[in-house]
Amino acid sequence: MNFNSIGFLIFFPVVVLVYWRLPFRFRWAWLLAASWYFYMSWNPSFIFLILMTTGITYISAWRIEACAGSSRKKFWLFLALSICLGELIFFKYFNFLLNSVVSALNLFSLHIEPVSFNILLPVGISFYTFQALSYVLDVYRGKAPAEKHFGYYAVFVSYFPQLVAGPIERTGDLLTQLRKEQHFSGEDMAAGLRLMLCGFFRKCVIADTFGIYVTPVFENLENATSLAIFIAGAMFCIQMYCDFAGYSEIARGAARTMGIRLTRNFNRPYLSLSYSEFFRRWHITLSRWFTDYLYIPLGGNRRGTARKIFNTVVVFFLCGLWHGASWNYVLWGLYAAFFICLESIASKPAVSYCEKHRINTDSTMIRLLRRSLMFFIFVPAALIFRAEGLQKAITAVAGLFTRWGSGADYLKASFEISGIRGEDALLIMLCLVCTGLVFYMEQYETTRSSHVTAGRIDSADTSHIADTSHTADTSYASHTAYGWRVAAYFFSAAAVALSWLLLAAGGDVSAFAYFQF
């Protein structure tokens, strides 16, 4: 059941209505039943996997807290890690690992035919596995108590708004809220619906529109010009952002209607001034997961530059592999690791050079140049990420640099490959304007929330979340801003409604990209 399906339009209002009508002591059971039904709507057999993950992590955390000796605690931790990661590796990486071994053996002239088993990848397995493991690791470290109520813990693992594509929540954020009695709030309901509207607009209007022009180029990479490949890469950056950020906003909005506040997963990533900053703003909960449970235990940046580089490469190698069982995702991770390591090495000399020559790095022009440079660096990464396999990724990146030309015929050929005509260019420009519009809407919902804390937003960039919604309410500027917001929401609702009508007529649902991870 996709968020942008007709089924969800029926499922979600029923869940919320019954949730608020039930007494508090029964709400966990209703949410658990709804979440399991939501997950089983893809494939009923998937429920056994999530039940196994829930059961083993629940028992392991309970035994870890009860055991006195460190060796027994390590045993239960190892048991939870091995079973949960074993499930993930089998369903997601078994064919990939098997064929990688076969390819390696063929390098030595053994000529073994590739083997592939028909293993269906359960949706969201990477997300709920990491969320369950974070709980066990936090209990093992003494940062969170073991949850005694199996029902509440099962809801924590399978909470339907964020089950299949995050955000990856921590015990102290989500489980604590699930155990606390929530009271109906008209403000929460309205804010949640507005966030959902922003998310649907990003996905149904912007991401799906950009996908129309991205797909033809990737289906014909061998004949695409460098300009066409660059345009496709740039548009895919926006498509993927609107697709995944749209899902996260729908998840946050759906939870907010039930009084639950999920962690913000995106914080203006394309305004980043560096690659490392980008990963503090993009898929924030996954970046924090790898930082807290892998990068820091490996030693972080405490053991010298060489060890820091090694840790960074390991983390991004696994981060790339987490996104998919294909070598192009590994290459994408190593590409990011290269630039982050380069930034780490060059940062001090660059700062010294700027201080010596009195260059103001905080000036508007310098920041604009840095952001523009970062976007150009993101484009090859987007090509690698979007390509279907390593060979396609190499073809895309090579084509980006080797097929440039000039003249009217070259421009015509580039736009023809993308399927962009005159009216399409106007549509793309409108979507870019709407991207800024929906960004403003989402930012407003985040800003006016008095419950957002620096711990749930990037601590390096929290000045924009101050609550200013009640200042100067009677001023002309406030009334004007309110009018623009109403117009923006009305326009967005109309656009989303049109997308739903087209969906109902065609019966074709565009899945969220991160469902495959």
From the list 323, 451, 470, 479, the catalytic residue is 323
**Which tokens is 490 given?**
């009305």
CA 303 to CA 311: how far, in whole Å? 10
CA 197 to CA 215: how far, in whole Å? 26
Instruction: DSSP for 102-142, please give it.
Output: HHHHHTTT--PPP-----PPPTTHHHHHHHHHHHHHHHHHT
Contacts with 357 (C-beta within 8 Å, 6 or more apart), sequence order = none
CA 444 to CA 484: how far, in whole Å? 12
The reply to whether 111 belongs to the active site is no
Contacts with 413 (C-beta within 8 Å, 6 or more apart), sequence order = 225, 228
Distances (CA, A) of 138 to 65, 284, 466: 11, 18, 30
CA 341 to CA 312: how far, in whole Å? 7
| Whether 307 contacts 299, CB under 8 Å | yes
Dihedral of CA 113/118/124/127: which sign? negative
What is the 3-class SS of 197-242, one letter each residue? Answer: HHHHHHHHHHHHHHHHHHHHHHCCCCCCCHHHHHHHHHHHHHHHHH
Find, among 234, 233, 229, the residue nearest to 415 by Cα: 229
**Which tokens is 153 given?**
């813990």
| Whether 326 contacts 389, CB under 8 Å | yes
Find, among 507, 517, 515, the residue nearest to 38 by Cα: 515
**Which tokens is 506 given?**
């065609």
Which 3 state secondary structure label does DSSP give 296? coil
Helix H or strand E segment including 18: helix 6-21
| Whether 405 contacts 225, CB under 8 Å | yes
CA 232 to CA 119: how far, in whole Å? 32
Which amino acid appears at position 24 of this protein? F
Residues with catalytic function: 323
